[in-house]
């Protein structure tokens, strides 16, 4: 579900992050041995995080990316953010 305004650039950034992190899932770290194919925003762009900043991106595998807790202490979301992949 790529959004038109970042199609292309996102693919480039995504590949760079996966390469940087050696296709290793960064969410559960060494405990996760699943091949990372997703790139996760550490701080959601919907909450002010950078879309393309490498410091805000990490490689993740789909299971970790989709099941990680989205609520940080002290924060609440009423609606789920839309995924962009």
The residue ranges that bind Zn ion (CB under 5 A) are: 25, 28, 32, 34, 61, 64
- Name the residue nearer to Zn ion (CB basis): 15 or 68: 68
User: Of 7 and 35, which CB lies nearer to Zn ion in the complex structure?
Assistant: 35
| Shortest Å distance, C-beta 40 to Zn ion | 10
DSSP element (H, E) containing 39: strand 38-41
For the chain, what's the residue count? 85
* Least distance from Zn ion to the Cβ atom of residue 66, Å: 10
């Amino acid at each position: 579900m790529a959004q038109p305004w970042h199609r292309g650039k996102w693919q480039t950034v995504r590949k760079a992050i996966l390469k940087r992190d050696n296709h290793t899932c960064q969410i559960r770290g060494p405990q996760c041995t699943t091949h990372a194919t997703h790139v996760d925003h550490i701080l959601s762009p919907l909450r002010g995080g950078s879309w393309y900043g490498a410091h805000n991106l990490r490689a993740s595998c789909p299971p970790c990316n989709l099941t990680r807790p989205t609520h940080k202490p002290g924060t609440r979301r009423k609606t789920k953010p839309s995924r962009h992949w």
